[in-house]
Structure 1
């Protein structure tokens, strides 16, 4: 998720100080991705460094208001106009964990999958029971919150489906057939081992 572009898009609505940006981000995401104030100010400083935002007025309480620049507005438009590209490689901890576990001797991968499924189903149930605590149940904050929660629900459902799929695929192989012994071929330093066909 791009905190940087999200904060810029909020600044495009008008000048804000750090805590205000955090509150506005929370309003628009239903507090599903909490940001700490340090992260907000670090991001603002980088936005200033890159010419996307600038410090503006200071109010009587000492709040420094940040303003978007023309270059920042162009950055927001480019972000909103560009689709999000998913990376091709996976850094998903669960996928890596199961891939490694499936190739280790003596690991009951079915048990690993069952424990994960229980947790994933529990998270899915919590998300399905979640209710918005905002004032207006039909307002824009409710809509923003529900969009984020719906995304989390669909991701949790996909994870459970993937766990079912993985369990089915692994059940087609006897456990010992998946075990990988350590390779006797030593890779050269800094380079991956060559795969021979």
Structure 2
């Protein structure tokens, strides 16, 4: 076979191979929507509202019992416990659920009745949509609307809106707020350091 024949065969082989196929761009993946999520996908935790009536489904008329409260939070861990307060063991019910929900329910003076509800974490909002950890400056309070707390609320401020005294906004700070229990907190310190730590609902005094 001549050199010319070999060259011709090589050229024909290259022509048969052709150009390599160009890589097609990958189409972007659309984010999952409600329509594309599987039917068994977990739903987002509901936002519970703290108001003068209670916290979420827990109202003043709700019986104080582990079973009654557990029925309102089927997806949460609900336990009966005791809280040491002023030398006494006070019955409480704790609720821990999705999205870091944390609620503590305290028995009132009358057995079987709720005395206080403390919302400490999770998807709990105030009547105006206020969220836990929000800065004090965005809550619409003045220092005169608040008092320094006592006992477990020592070093924090309890703020209330006129006509809604049963719901307190517990304002914490890194460290502690200055002042004696019952005194108005320092306005500059509240504005600089205060944040919404908890919601406290208390049963109205008869």
Pick the structure with greater CA Rg. 2
Q: TM-score, normalised by structure 1?
A: 0.22
Q: TM-score, normalised by structure 2?
A: 0.21
Higher strand residue share: 2
Larger RCO (alpha carbons 8 Å, 6+ apart): 1
